[in-house]
Amino acid sequence: MISIMKSWLAIVLSLSSSVAEEFNYQEAQVPAYQLPALLQQQDGSSAETSKQWQETRRAEIFHLLEQRMFGVSPPRPTLRFRVMEPATHALDGTALRQQVRVYFSSQDETALDLLIYRPRNSVKLPPVIFGLNFKGNQSVQSDPGILMCRSWVNNQELKKPDIHHALEESRGTDAGKWPVAYAIQRGYAVVTGYYGDIDPDYDDGWKNGVHSLHPEMEKNRSSETWGSLAAWAWGMSVAMDWIVQEPSLDGKRVAVQGFSRLGKAALWSAASDPRYAIVISQNSGAGGAALNKRIFGETVGRLNRSFPHWFCKNFHRYSENESAMEFDSHFLLSLCAPRPLLITSATEDRWADPHGEFLAARATNPAYSLFGHEGLTATTMPSPGQLVNDRMGYFLRHGRHDVTQEDWKAYCDFCDRHLPQQP
């Protein structure tokens, strides 16, 4: 028996080692790579002014990422919404809670439920931190008044066999990622919606969510047709349509926030929608803020194998072929310029490559310089817990792939400095 146990342990250790060795976590093993020039235009000239950037180079980069990475999205629908709950006292009377259903079409079953908390006694219209959540609005706070998720849910996230019972038990389970009371104390409104309301996060053949609203587009799907990341980004812009017209919120001072895969979506939504005043990407890694050509942690090939629905088909040509990419993440980050952009990482989240995220931010500086901003001035990664509060900020936290109140403190500190002041 002991011999069998030793043999089994040896097999397990061998398998664990082979899995670990499949991905690079050593800086010494990062291959030599050359980043595409950010300012070099298709005609060979270089963008030298903010006007050239805005009129030519930015459009070239956006089109490139749209065609080769995220896919082409349809126009946004005409705004249609329904107030599900008027402003109601919440969080021991410090906040007002409101719930609104934003429809993506005339079909009532396809809609995004927004959960809104705002300071109750704010003298001025509060600025907004807006982002999507992973488990449904009911998971954001332990609050029985929050409407239950009605859409597809990732039962793997909930870790319960009975989905209906699991949803009820999920109330407040992600409150650590959404410290709403803290944000309210800092003077910010928080708006969130469930990403599964927009599009389910599995390879469903584009038959559900907002993809189902465009049958001709899906029937004639090409290598440039939008994937789920673009769909989530599109849905965020539809939610923004509601935020900017809501009289109780300051629609001109909205920070869009996203974590992990939703950090990728937030970056693409910001690239597509100029109305966000600030962009915050947390632990977005490969396909987001991290440089793909470093081949560190998660890779393009792993992204496309594990999540074939996220990007457009064209992006699959770069699987195990990052050296052929005509762009990298600094192109995506540059589409936020000249808006303030905060990149956050975690020390133990090597899968998302914190160093690669920092280097990508540094590589984005030329776009910000065209507008008279230094971008990210730090030349080496800051110590954990230290916010580099430049026009392009960077924050590294001790810990794993997660969102904590420490991250939200960095969000609020960054927004305090960079959001335009309300007259």
Rounded to whole angstroms, the Cα distance separating 129 from 135 reads: 18
How far CA 190 is from CA of 58, 177, 254, 323, 405, in Å, comes to 30, 12, 10, 40, 14
pLDDT, residue 39, reads 98
Q: Is 401 a catalytic residue?
A: yes
- Our measurement of the distance from residue 335's CA atom to the centroid of its chain's CA atoms, rounded to an integer in Å, reads 14
Verify cis geometry, omega within 30 degrees of 0, for the bond prior to 161. no
Q: What is the pTM of this model?
A: 0.93
Token match 């507008």: residue? 371
pLDDT, residue 154, reads 65
How far CA 122 is from CA of 88, 115, 126, 129, 180, in Å, comes to 15, 18, 7, 15, 15
Catalytic residue among 50, 212, 369, 401: 401
Task: Classify 362 as helix, strand or coil.
Answer: helix
Closest by CA to 259, choosing from 241, 237, 282, is 282
In contact, 396 and 345? CB cutoff 8 Å: yes
Sign of torsion over alpha carbons 414, 193, 172, 289: negative
Count of beta carbons in the 10 Å neighbourhood of residue 41: 15
In contact, 157 and 135? CB cutoff 8 Å: yes
Burial readout 348-372 (b: 16 or more C-beta within 10 A, e: otherwise): ebbbbbbbbbbbbbbbbbbbbebee
Task: Classify 65 as helix, strand or coil.
Answer: helix
Greatest Cα pair distance in the chain: 77
Catalytic residue among 151, 170, 237, 260: 260
Half-sphere exposure of 54 (CA within 13 A, CB side): 8
Q: Is 46 a catalytic residue?
A: no
Rounded to whole angstroms, the Cα distance separating 131 from 282 reads: 11
pLDDT, residue 9, reads 41
State the 10-residue block means of pLDDT for the chain, 423 residues long: 39 39 90 97 97 97 98 92 96 97 87 97 94 96 93 63 71 96 98 96 91 87 95 98 97 98 98 98 98 98 97 97 97 98 98 98 98 96 97 98 98 96 68
